[in-house]
Structure 1
Amino acid sequence: MTNEEEKVESLNQVLAYAKTAPFYSNRIGNNKLTSLADLKTIPITTKQDLREQSPYGLLATDNSLLAQYHESSGTTGQPVSIWYSAKDLKEITDQIATSGVTMTNQDVVLIRFPYALSTISHFLHEAVQTCGGCVIPADSRTTITPMPKVIDLLSRLRVTVLACIPLQAIMLAEMATLLGFDPRTDFPNLRAICTAGEPLTPYKRDLIEEIWEVPVFDNYGMTEIGTAMVDCQEQQLHLFEEMFHIEILKDDLQNEVKDGEVGNLVITTLRNRATPLIRYATGDLVQRKEKKCLCGKGHPYVIRGRKEESLLIQDQIFDIYELEAILSPLTAKRFWVAGTIDDQLYLLIEKENDSDQVSNEYIKVLEDYYKVNLFIYLLDKGTLYDRSEPLAFGMKAKPRYFLTGTELKNLLAERGILDDSKER
């Protein structure tokens, strides 16, 4: 049996099972798939579908088998309800345990993700313990463990692995510096950082590794599906092929992009999950690398960020990946926001040192390359992230890198920057 035949067989089993969920009972036909192409006859499942069907419309299992419940943050509307069975949880945590960071019973792992209804903290917590490691649950949404306390725990408890969103790793390094520590030398037991929760571009990975001088390993997933990819030892993301089938589609959500192109990630669970998802449009932009990974696991993936959190200017998409590529050669690049006014791109960056500057020559190179008008302004430290109150620093919800036009204009006005000024 070929790989495609095996995949089609798995999909047919999952589709038959998914039909027991109220939402999918009438959306999936009775005819079995004969090829992967046949999957496209099933309608896309959207985030709005999940909102409308929560909490029970997507549930496809006996309530007695349920082990855990999670919800999305609900920041963009009604929260999405996702249920997991004990079998689901074990499969997810077993896969996380295959990460290239290679947890052992010698590891002390500080988890700085939010707990409560989010997923990654719970899944990683269990995965670490599955590997025999010890967990320090330093929830990022409680005043019990503000950043100064986390720095104390990192030092006093000889933490070997820090797990947090990429931006939090940068913030923690800054807090460590404010408290008199050098992140590169004063945490000698720290051997790695594990990230999740927002796109980790190669530029941000390089920045975090430069700050802490330890390797960074990423984890990609979401509340709806749990973890779907982890970094191998080569620090490349690989899909859990036996658990998920993915499509990378053009904006029409019908046709596949060409190899190596960026497209919309659509995912189907290949296990009989308590909450099965069939052709779920995640809202994320993803790219499958054309070159196979040195680890032997095939083609790795690049997560470019959420489509709704990117800027479109004159047919040019500026996602987090593209913007951090622009920032990467600058001396100041840790904390930034972007926005547009009148089809012009604005990048606002907090200074890291008084000597930081952006040359007009570099901006001209960028404008010639992207064919857009571009303004880069350096702001005083603390403009975007207030360090004056340690309890508040880093306690916000998900990072925001993109401002609305009104927010951008207000920030420019507060800083005394004229919209039509060409002075950077």
Structure 2
Amino acid sequence: MAEQELIMKLQEAIEHAKTSTFYHNHLLQKRIEKLEDFKEIPFLTKNDLRNHSPFGLLAAAKEEIVQYHESSGTTGNPISIWFSEGDLNRIVNRTNETAVLFSRYDTMIVRFPYAMSIIAHTMHETGKSNKTCIIPADSRTSITPMSRVIELLIKCETTILACMSLHAIMLAEVAVSQGLDPKVSFPNLRAICTAGEPITSFRRNLIEELWGVPVFDNYGMTETGTIMVDCEYHHLHPAHEDFYIEVLNEDLTTSTKPGEIGNLVITTLNKPATPMIRYLTGDTVRVSEDLCRCGKSIYEIHGRKELQWRVKNRQFDIWDLEEIISPLSSRKFWAARARDHVLYIVIERESTTDKVACEYLDFLQDQYGVEIKIYYIQKGALYDRQEPLSFGMKGKPNYMLTELELDYILNSLD
């Protein structure tokens, strides 16, 4: 949109936000005449959201609210987010932009957690809006362990599977353990919709290789609902009509250049019940130097800032790690830790013949300028298969090894 139109929408967003108790003080008499004025507004942080939940950021009358969600609380007290009916309709409209193209002829298994998080409800309602048949297979209940999801995929002739990317890999393994071939045994499956964690191009390729169907990603958060969805060329594009997006360098002042990774800052433009003005999301993002074939800018979500590994002066994120392991024969389940100027990566072994060539480790050291050690460990060391409910039931995936876990693994290799 044109700059003057954007400035007007930003000012409208500020005036709307000031009807909440938090923003009434946070924004005071802020007015913007140009985009540089907007950059003087202080960031909204997760601590702000935590400290002023549940009602501090509510900018709508209680009778307008139809849904409430909370963050998981894994990194602190949960944050409260309220939604009006209009908010939810806009989220569904944004999700409908994904190139998966839900229809009345589809049956979709929704394998996200329904309790408190929003993505399961988003996918559920988006499917319903297209008359898609929904199978609500919550990922955090004993009623639908992964083995039952496999059963539902077959007997219900499911056409779309909606789940976290790691769960798609886990479900493929469960299918194989039952004597099935994910690329053959589910002839009706036509697509997998992922959300809930960043999906790298390397993991996308792995999932498509395992299942033989395309993957469509959805990026969002409890605080906003869907922000970006995949186009037909499998690239994420934001809904610029609903969000003003900043990608900032570590100084949190200057914008990144195309191709650089920066901090994602979100401002809501559609006057939601819980407005976000310059929300410092804690996620990192890269805007590609190249345009997508559809003509839009390509966004790559590189994940949480706390999910990074620093070795000397080199920072690694989940994209770097999955690029490193992508040429290996086993690359499904891994975790890592940086210690003593070394990046340690451990991968669950898929075959007894798995090994990492010394030449490849030398190549990695030349490529990244730091020592990288890769170890194969027995299957089940990272994700327990003995108890069916424990495999894939831990909530958010954890790719960070603790010091004790790394010590245990290294000692067991001796």
Whether 1:416 and 2:413 are equivalent positions in the alignment is yes
Misfit runs of 4+, over 6 Å:
none
Deviations 1:171-195 (A, max 9, x none): 0000001111100100000000000
Distance across 2 between alignment mates of 1:87 and 1:348 = 46
Q: Which secondary structure does the structure 1 equivalent of 2:240 belong to?
A: coil
Alignment deviations for residues 17-48 of structure 1 (CA, whole Å, 9 cap, x no partner): 10111111122243531222221110011111
Higher mean alpha-carbon deviation, 200-209 vs 347-356, is at: 347-356
- Who is 2:137 aligned against? 138
Q: Is the partner of 1:325 in helix, strand or coil?
A: helix
1:359 aligns with 2:357: yes
What's the % identity of the aligned pairs?
51
1:420 match = none
Q: Equivalents in 2 of 1:206, 1:126: separation in Å?
A: 28
Aligned equivalents of 2:404, 2:45: Cα separation in 1: 29
SS in 2 for 1:209: helix
- Structure 1, unpaired ranges of 5+: 418-424
Aligned equivalents of 1:93, 1:78: Cα separation in 2: 28
Q: Is the 8 A contact 1:111 1:125 kept in 2?
A: yes
Compute the displacement of 1:291 (Å): 1.4
Distance 2:275 2:136 in 1: 29
1:110-136 alpha-carbon deviations (Å, 9 max, x no partner):
010000101100011000111111100
Q: Which residue of the partner structure matches residue 34 of structure 1?
A: 33
SS at match of 1:381: coil
Counterpart secondary structure, 1:278: coil
CA-CA distance at 1:411 after TM superposition: 3.0
| 1:226 maps onto 2:233 in alignment | no
Alignment of 1:83 with 2:64, yes or no, is no
> Counterpart of 2:53?
54
Q: Does 1:379 align with 2:377?
A: yes
Output the amino acid matched with 2:398.
R
Matching of residues 284-363 of structure 1 within 5 Å = 284-296=283-295, 298-363=296-361
User: Residue 3 of structure 1: CA displacement?
Assistant: 1.3
Q: Which residue of 2 aligns with 1:421?
A: none
**Separation of aligned partners in 2, 1:76 and 1:280:** 17
Other structure's SS at 1:291 match: strand
Amino acid at match of 2:369: K
Q: Distance in 2 between matches of 1:29 and 1:40?
A: 15
Aligned mates of 1:268, 1:411 — CA distance in 2: 43
Specify the code of the residue in structure 2 equivalent to 1:236. H
In the alignment, is the contact (CA less than 8 A) between 1:85 and 1:273 conserved in 2? Answer: yes
Matches within 5 A, 1:155-174: 155-174=154-173
- The residue identity in structure 1 corresponding to 2:315 is I
The one-letter code sitting in structure 1 at the alignment partner of 2:184 is T
Aligned to 2:201: 202
Report the equivalent of 2:42: 43
CA distance in 2, matches of 1:109, 1:355: 38
CA displacement at 1:266 relative to structure 2: 0.5
| 1:117 alignment partner AA | M
Report what 2:9 is aligned to.
10
1:391 deviates by: 2.2
In 2: Cα distance, 1:308 partner to 1:31 partner = 32
Q: Secondary structure of the residue that 1:24 maps to in structure 2? A: helix
- The CA deviation at 1:317 is 1.0
Confirm or deny: 8 A CA contact 2:288 2:298 kept in the other structure.
Answer: yes
- Counterpart amino acid of 1:106? Y
| Matched residue SS, 2:344 | strand
Q: C-alpha distance in 1, partners of 2:279/2:30?
A: 20
CA contact (8 A) 2:311 2:339 kept: no
Deviations for 1:125-184, whole angstroms, at most 9, x for unmatched residues? 000111111100000000000011000000000000000000000000000011111001
For residues 162 and 299 of structure 1, the distance between their equivalents in structure 2, rounded to whole angstroms, comes to: 27
Equivalent residue letter for 1:416: L
Counterpart contact for 1:161–1:193, Cα < 8 Å? yes
Task: State the partner residue of 1:109.
Answer: 108
* Alpha-carbon distance in 2 for matches of 1:225, 1:323: 28
Q: Give the deviation of 1:396 after TM superposition.
A: 0.9
Residue 393 (structure 1) shift = 1.3
User: 1:260, CA displacement in angstroms?
Assistant: 1.8
Structure 1 residue 257, shift from structure 2 partner: 1.2
For residues 317-372 of structure 1, the C-alpha deviation after alignment (integer angstroms, 9 at most, x for no partner) is: 11000000001000000000000221210000001111111101000100111111
**Residue 405 in structure 1 maps to residue 403 in structure 2:** yes
TM-score normalised to structure 2 length: 0.98
Are 1:270 and 2:269 counterparts? yes
Answer yes or no: is the 8 Å Cα contact 1:340–1:405 preserved in 2: no
The answer on 1:247 being equivalent to 2:269 is no
Letter of the aligned partner of 1:80 in structure 2?
I
Q: Secondary structure at the match of 1:73?
A: coil
Unaligned runs of 5+ in 2: none
